[in-house]
């Protein structure tokens, strides 16, 4: 069943571009109910209609995307942010387990976002993720940002500077934190690496992703020794890359 959707963006070109793309290639997946240049009009429409998906610009005059969501309150609608901001803002969104499309929107990226939506069956963590994104956008640097990760018990937030390393555990990932704390995340190591792709975390082995802030030294046998004294193997094909990174 097609997702009943709205587009809220003050950029007329982006609204028309996304509308045309949906009509041409995604009509089986998305039923577009309306497009809005003014956030307040979009908010009123969502309150009065059953909406499954909101394409939402973050920074708009008069009312930001965050202000709109604050006014909307609890919603079962999925959110895909639309933004022209790369770098820091994108990292803030990814760390918060939220989806986004970078302007100008590309068809293959819209397809990937829709596929990810179809894999998600629950929306109960949206408010937590939005709150985390707001925190991340105000953070002084990457280390002060928070990462949202889910487990069988629910979702949790961690400061990046509290994560020592991530270790593959079948289809899960064991997160090693400060003070000998651990957390089993319901994501593969590859998925977490993708979330952290804009950060300084190092993939040193097929089973290990390491925060370089906790690296003490490399042994002659190509092992990383971390500050809390654990030893992590470095794969042969990644050894030169890791050593060059640590020389910077």
Q: Tell me the C-alpha to C-alpha distance, in Å, between residue 41 and each of 5, 31, 54.
A: 14, 19, 13
Q: What pLDDT, on the 0 to 100 scale, is given for residue 123?
A: 58
- Report the pLDDT averaged over residues 214-241: 89
- Report the pLDDT averaged over residues 82-93: 80
pLDDT at residue 43 is higher than 90: yes
Q: What pLDDT, on the 0 to 100 scale, is given for residue 56?
A: 95
pLDDT at residue 119 is higher than 70: no
- Average pLDDT of the chain is 89
Residue spans in the chain of domains classed CATH 2.40.50.1020: 143-247
- d(CA 149, CA 183) in angstroms, rounded, equals 9
Has this prediction a pTM greater than 0.85?
Answer: no
- Report the pLDDT averaged over residues 14-34: 95
pLDDT in tens, 123-149: 567 778 888 888 888 888 888 899 999
- d(CA 9, CA 19) in angstroms, rounded, equals 12
Confidence of residue 70 (pLDDT cuts 50, 70, 90): confident
The CATH fold of domain 143-247: OB fold (Dihydrolipoamide Acetyltransferase, E2P) (2.40.50)
- Report the pLDDT averaged over residues 160-180: 95
Alpha helices in the chain (DSSP H): 12-25, 39-48, 65-72, 88-95, 107-119, 126-138, 189-195, 239-247
Residue spans in the chain of domains classed CATH 3.40.50.2300: 3-137
Is the bond preceding 39 in cis, omega lying within 30 degrees of 0?
no
Residues 6+ apart with CB under 8 A from 200: 142, 211, 212, 213
Q: What pLDDT, on the 0 to 100 scale, is given for residue 124?
A: 61
- d(CA 86, CA 125) in angstroms, rounded, equals 24
- Report the pLDDT averaged over residues 186-199: 90
Confidence of residue 83 (pLDDT cuts 50, 70, 90): confident
Alpha helices in 96-211 (DSSP H): 107-119, 126-138, 189-195
Q: What pLDDT, on the 0 to 100 scale, is given for residue 25?
A: 92
The domain 3-137 belongs to what CATH superfamily? Response regulator (3.40.50.2300)
């Amino acid at each position: 069943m097609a997702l009943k959707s709205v587009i809220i963006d003050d950029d007329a070109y982006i609204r028309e571009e996304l509308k045309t793309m949906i009509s041409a290639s995604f009509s089986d997946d998305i039923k577009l109910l309306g497009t809005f240049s003014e956030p307040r009009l979009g908010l009123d429409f969502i309150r009065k209609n059953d909406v499954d998906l909101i394409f939402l610009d973050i920074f708009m005059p008069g009312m930001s995307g965050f202000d709109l969501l604050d006014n909307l309150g609890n919603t079962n609608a999925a959110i895909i942010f639309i933004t022209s901001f790369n770098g820091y803002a994108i990292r803030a969104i990814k760390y918060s387990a939220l989806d986004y499309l970078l302007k100008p929107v590309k068809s293959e990226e819209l397809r990937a976002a829709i596929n990810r939506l179809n894999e998600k069956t629950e929306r109960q963590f949206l408010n937590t993720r939005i709150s985390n994104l707001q925190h991340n956008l105000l953070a002084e640097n990457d280390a002060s940002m928070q990462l949202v990760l889910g487990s069988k018990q629910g979702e949790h937030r961690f400061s990046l500077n509290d994560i020592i390393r991530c270790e593959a555990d079948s289809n899960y990932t064991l997160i090693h934190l400060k003070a000998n704390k651990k957390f089993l995340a319901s994501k593969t190591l590859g998925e977490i690496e993708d979330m952290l792709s804009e950060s300084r975390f190092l993939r040193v082995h097929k089973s290990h992703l390491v925060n370089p802030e906790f690296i003490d030294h490399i042994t002659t046998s190509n092992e990383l020794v971390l500050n809390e004294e654990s030893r992590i193997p470095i794969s042969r094909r990644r050894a030169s890359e890791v050593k060059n990174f640590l020389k910077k």
